[in-house]
Chains A and B, each alone.
Chain A
Amino acid sequence: MNPYRRSPFVIVATVLVYIFLYAPIVGLVLYSFNASRANVTFEGFIPAYSDRVVMDGSLVKTSPCGPFHWYCELAKNGDVAEAAGNTLTIAFSATIISTIIGTMAALALQRYNFKMKPFSQLSLYVPIVIPEIVMGIGILTLFSQVFGWVNDTFNLAGDARLSLGMMTVTASHIAFMVPFVALVVQARLSGFDKSYEEAAMDLGANEWTTFRRVTFPMILPGVMSGALLAFTLSLDDFVITFFTNGPGSTTLPIYVYGLLRRIITPQVNALSTVWILVVFLAVLILQILQNREQKQHT
């Protein structure tokens, strides 16, 4: 019997589901070349390169960038650049902090016994079983109550007043990212043979050296995939950011959401296309790295 045999029903269903997954993405990319500024119907590609943008009503006739007109507009858009900068700043800082403290927590939970262990372990599951919006409004309430109290008590004025911004977004991101890092690293640690560490200790290494030279290199892949998961969660987050961002801390998802509620030009499609390309490359690189690691193991 051929173990890889699949019934025609499964194959047809699979093809249909893949079409379902990709049709919206294809449409999105196609419309990023739309000649129509209104972006309601597809009015064809922008035909010609020229030294200036020529419009006919809402149709773009020529552009210095030709069919890539909306990508050039996107590159000139300062708001997008700022939002992209904010998104990356938040994602990087939140990933670094959550990876460090999450890995520490995973080690503690897997290797040590201490009084608050059950509480620590339980708190890791909170963001998984609670809808994000509940977390979001809770954090918003906390910040607004605490900030209001501090501002009033110390009579803070102007820039000194505490308000929502990059710090609040980053801190909140860490809160929902840490559990994922900790759980991924914990899973890695649980399948890990303790005898390597015992051997190192027997050979005279102290605890710190054992950690640095034996434990850490062995859990590093787990730490890396935890960090990567956390990073993508942060890049992708809408709900928590929505409730905790303030002036000057708009991220890309928040920016796109704002656009969707107003007028949509093909610029949004161009932005989405660039985003999809970046994701595509990131996933590709990740897969190649994972494949290489698997090959080394076998």
Chain B
Amino acid sequence: MSHVASMHGAVEPAESPLTPESWGKLGMWIFLAGDAVGFGTLLAGYGAMRATSGDWPRPFDVLGINLTAAMTFLLICSSVTMVKALEWLGKGDRTRARVLLFLTALGGALFVSLQAYEWTHLIHRGLHINGNPWGASLFGTSFFLVTGFHGLHVTGGVIYLLAMMRVVKRRPVPAASYNAVEIAGLYWHFVDLVWIMVFTFMYLL
């Protein structure tokens, strides 16, 4: 991998601090830190509202976790296909890398579809953004806000990954797209990481 890093170092105007391979990688990390503050704020607000509410429903009883556990597993799998895509690109196999990128995007698309199914199901059972049959109305508000914000991130990620497949296809030298795919991977793993938090705090706890 060392030649990949040094090649990119050579084309950059100046070496970025912290991430010598590229400025883009540092940019993505800073973006993700900001995005994490967004999710952190939502989850902290959720925790504070729940702790001070007298009639917060127990999410575990109301939402059910079988489907979401499967969705969690699906996202973990898509993270694995993502790292494998990067690994194969590093070895110079663009075809394998593109197939794995596609599988990653497919996992994301499946995740959003399952979430749509889950939402429909819950809405039919009476969970709305401004009220629900089980207790505090903020329960529905926060549920749709947080899972919706995450779902949008997954949707954006799927589009991002499909764009990366195109980048890999159009650049004949595998090393030329390595950095771009690595940065896309950072975003994708972050979305997985956030779901781990959301699943624990909004479904299990």
- A and B held together in a complex: no
Spell out B's residues near A (CB within 8 Å).
Answer: none
Spell out A's residues near B (CB within 8 Å).
Answer: none
